[in-house]
A = this chain, B = another copy of it.
Amino acid sequence: MQLTHFTDLGLRVLMYASQPQRVTQSGKAVTISEIAESLHVSRNHLVKVVHFMASHQWLSTTRGKGGGLALAKTPDQYNLGQLVRILEGTTQVVNCAEPPCALRFGCGLKGLLDEALQAFFQSLDRYTLADIIQGKTQEILSELQRIHIVQLSTDV
């Protein structure tokens, strides 16, 4: 049982964009190209997930030279359970409809799987983005961004 790649990417983007001193220290906004490079993920997939998260007012984006993306709120305002529910889109652990399951009008399994999924989300509901980006995670994110900024200045 895995989260979709879309959810996984979405959470990584929020973590990456969460570094508080990033713009004031470097003068450079976080860009999709930077995240693609630093996290070794597909730029095309990132474009979709960033667009989705901007449409949900989770990210603020600015276009053009010097533009980029940033968290629209403080990290403690992003509830992890809510993020995952919305990024996942469907909250069905099994697909009873496609192809139609012969048991779908009276299935004793479905209710128990739904209950277990609720337990999964309720566990995540206890945390926010702020809980994820502390300590070692914060250090790695900060270091990844430092490396990127050094590379940028070396390229110039």
Question: Which residues of A are at the interface with B, using a C-beta cutoff of 8 A?
Answer: 1-4, 7-8, 11-12, 15, 38-41, 80, 84, 88, 90-95, 99-103, 105-109, 112-113, 115-124, 127, 131-137, 139-141, 144
B119 touches A106 (CB 8 A): no
Task: Note all chain B residues with C-beta closer than 8 A to A84.
Answer: 1
Q: Assuming the A-B contacts A102-B39, A140-B103, are A123 and B116 also in contact, with contact meaning beta carbons closer than 8 angstroms in the complex?
A: yes
Determine if A102 and B38 form an interchain contact, defined as CB atoms under 8 angstroms apart. yes
Cβ-neighbour of A2 out of B39, B94, B123, B136 (below 8 A)? B94
Determine how many copies of this chain the complex contains: 2
A-B contact sample (14 more), CB < 8 A, given A39-B101, A103-B141, A119-B120: A2-B93, A2-B94, A3-B113, A8-B95, A12-B103, A15-B109, A40-B102, A41-B99, A80-B112, A105-B140, A107-B137, A109-B137, A112-B123, A116-B124
